[in-house]
Amino acid sequence: MKFTWFNLMPWPHLPDDFREKYRSVWVDIPSTLYDPVKGHELYNTYLDELEYAEQLGYDGIGVNEHHANAYGLMPSPNIMAAALARRTSKAALVVLGNSIALYNPPIRVAEEFAMLDVISGGRLLAGFPVGTSMDTNYCYGDIPALTRERYAEAHDLIMRAWREPEPFTFNGRYTKLRYANCWPKPIQSPPPIFIPGGGSLETYDFCLDYDYVYCYLSFSGYKRAKQLMDGYWQRVADRGKDLSPYRAGFAQTIVVAETDAEAERDYREHIDYFYNRCLHVYPGFADAPGYRTIKTLKANVTSQMTRQAVGDVASMSWDQLVNEGYVIAGSPDSVAAQMKELITGLRVGNIFCLIHVGNMPKDKCMRSSKLFAEEVIPQLRDMWPEYRNDDRFWIHPLDSHAGRPAASAVGG
């Protein structure tokens, strides 16, 4: 099993009446709610936590990209990954990822990811999300019905830029480069590639065509993910591919304490903050018309857009969130038991551990992370013994002689 400690980097100072006063945590949230002085402390705390996760032995440390979003303060995940590249030496740098359709020209992603891979000694794990509609369409103005075509072209350009030894001409519909020439090149050829998906057949096939890892990044937990992941594995089987669990990843909110009761006592308010404040997104921003394919839409359309549904700001309770598996919470043993259910039920080899939650302070975050690392992971580590040697989907860093130790200050 591979465990990545992931930080969404939420803004922890949203007011108590946020949902009543503001329609969305994303896209049009006023930046008067942000305070750069508090932000200074916050970014550095979040980076400390990511570095601490490496010390605890997590296989990867993860960052991602969002725009105008108060629960995801990383418009540029590559800046965070660069900071981490210097201060760590073992963990995979899981950048999940760069929304490749939004970089102009997209060869920028090939270049920056190559830089990260080189600085870190081959520890980059590269995510290529399409990007949410909120980010891609509403914040960055990409035309919804053209996003997927632009994405596919950007993917082709980036992979070719990494692969081709000579400058080449790229005559795309959206990007035209007379001299496509990626300097530097990554150490890994190429870095492992993770693709976030939301259940469309097209994305299953895209991952299988290239042997990329399919990742389901939802906040609604493993019990609700079963049907989608079953669909993925059915497709893997139909395509005649091997069923290595390392072909799949899943994000799960996890909080660990000494006992179940302590978990509720210590983490309840932070879970509440995240699920009831951070996820307050105006439905009009959820899904720009044309962003999803019609096939996907027919299978997944929701009717959360009635006047009544929009007006309903009922909270989700701790009991509901825990019982329905949105959140895995409790003592190390109860968390391990639920994690086993998750791992076998969804057949996943990669877990993105969302252990920092909402407005959780550093001490609680470190305690939960430590308990998970020391008392839960050992119970899960070898859950797929028959795939123990399957290293196709993980990083291949330089060996310890060629790689550098983590940076310390000059003279330090």
* List 2, 277, 292, 347, residue binding another protein (CB under 8 A): 292
CB of 180 to another protein, least distance (A): 22
Q: Does 291 bind another protein (CB under 8 A)?
A: yes
Site string for another protein, 119-158 (x = CB under 8 A): ------------------xx--x-xxxx------------
Tell me the torsion sign for CA atoms 327, 52, 277, 142: negative
| Closer to another protein by Cβ: residue 148 or 247 | 148
- Nearest-angstrom CA–CA distance, 96 and 124: 10
Cβ(26)–Cβ(68) under 8 Å?
Answer: yes
- Comparing C-alpha atoms, which of 79, 19, 2 is closest to residue 43? 79
Q: How many helices (H) and strands (E) does the chain have?
A: 15, 11
- Comparing C-alpha atoms, which of 252, 195, 199 is closest to residue 221? 252
Structure tokens at 362: 């550093």
Segment near another protein (CB under 8 A); pick from 10-18, 111-119, 289-297, 362-370: 289-297
- Comparing C-alpha atoms, which of 255, 369, 285, 361 is closest to residue 67? 285
* List 57, 75, 283, 345, residue binding another protein (CB under 8 A): 283
Q: Does 289 bind another protein (CB under 8 A)?
A: yes
| Closer to another protein by Cβ: residue 89 or 296 | 296
CB of 133 to another protein, least distance (A): 10
> Count of residues binding another protein (CB under 8 A)?
29
The length of the chain is 412
**Could you tell me whether strands 168-171 and 176-180 are parallel, antiparallel, or unpaired per DSSP bridges?**
antiparallel
| Closer to another protein by Cβ: residue 79 or 309 | 309
| Closer to another protein by Cβ: residue 79 or 145 | 145
Segment near another protein (CB under 8 A); pick from 192-200, 255-263, 305-313, 346-354: 305-313
- Nearest-angstrom CA–CA distance, 219 and 211: 25
CB of 289 to another protein, least distance (A): 3
* List 16, 30, 165, 307, residue binding another protein (CB under 8 A): 307
Element (H, E) at 56: helix 36-56
Structure tokens at 34: 């942000």
| Closer to another protein by Cβ: residue 57 or 75 | 75
| Closer to another protein by Cβ: residue 123 or 148 | 148
- Nearest-angstrom CA–CA distance, 332 and 377: 9
Q: 3-state DSSP call for residue 182?
A: coil
- Nearest-angstrom CA–CA distance, 72 and 59: 22
CB of 111 to another protein, least distance (A): 27
CB of 354 to another protein, least distance (A): 28
Residues forming the site for another protein (CB under 8 A):
27, 137-138, 141, 143-146, 173, 282-285, 287-292, 294, 297-298, 301, 303, 305-308, 310
